[in-house]
Chain A
Amino acid sequence: QERLVQSGAEVKTPGASMKISCKVFGYTFTSYYLNWVRLAPGQGPEWVGIINPSGASTTYAPAFEDRVVMTRDTSTSTVYMELSGLKFEDTAIYYCARGGRLWYGEFHRAFDLWGQGTVVTVSS
């Protein structure tokens, strides 16, 4: 069964960094792009960026590009997102979501499979 399983909840203080993970099950890890999306209370979803799990190339949303790093570990079929300089407004649920097929160059594709979400709370 295809699924994305994310790491557990995080509580951080302002200025700290966080690193959360998303493990792929049920399909070939290097076949699809993976995205990160966050959903803050009372707001619409916000796309953070995308990683190519095969070549590790990334594209980040401008709002995050100075403090986000996405990486992957092909040996464990896991992608990671590290966000530094945390602010109160980074409090949100962070999701990984599958995008398009790498072989077909489907950078532009809707997100058809989502992880269960990781709750991140930034509090002093």
Chain B
Amino acid sequence: EIVLTQTPGILSSSPGDRATLSCRASQSFAHNFLAWYQKKPGQSPRLLIYNAVIRATDVPDRFIGNAAGTDFSLTISRLEPEDFAVYYCQQYGTSPFTFGPGTKVDFK
């Protein structure tokens, strides 16, 4: 199965900062079928980005997805207070679909 590695594990930031989260896949998969989800305590995951670079419905344009081979990134151009959460990447190009362990964006 494809293993996704996310770095850093924790990103300590302040509102207004630019945050870059990384996700590396152990092997390539079809069509850049990679998604990013946001998870807050007590809430269900929320889809932010799919197909590596496409923002989901109603997702602010400060969330930007990028892809280069087996390296993927999610950039939050300017952190808002509501962005402090855990972010997971997921590949759905090859079964079994797999998720990364997450990056927690917390307050510095």
Contact = CB atoms under 8 A, between A and B. Distances in A.
Interface stretch (B10-18, B67-75, B76-84, B95-103): B95-103
Interface in B42-68: 44-47, 50-51, 56-57
B56 A45 contact: no
A67 to B, nearest CB: 15
A59 B93 CA distance: 14
A85 to B, nearest CB: 19
A44 B89 CA distance: 9
Nearest to B30: A108
Nearest to A109: B92
A114 B44 contact: yes
A117 B97 contact: no
Contacts of A117: 44
Contacts of A35: 97
Interface residues of A, number: 24
Nearest to B101: A44
Interface string A30-49: 00000101010001111100
A80 interface: no
A8 B17 CA distance: 39
A110 B92 contact: yes
A108 B44 contact: no
Given A45-B88, A62-B1, A111 B35 contact: yes
Contacts of B39: 39
B101 A43 contact: yes
Contacts of A78: none
Interface of A: 35, 37, 39, 43-47, 59, 61-63, 95, 97, 99, 108-112, 114-117
Interface of B: 1, 6, 30-31, 33, 35, 37, 39, 44-47, 50-51, 56-57, 88, 90, 92-93, 95-102
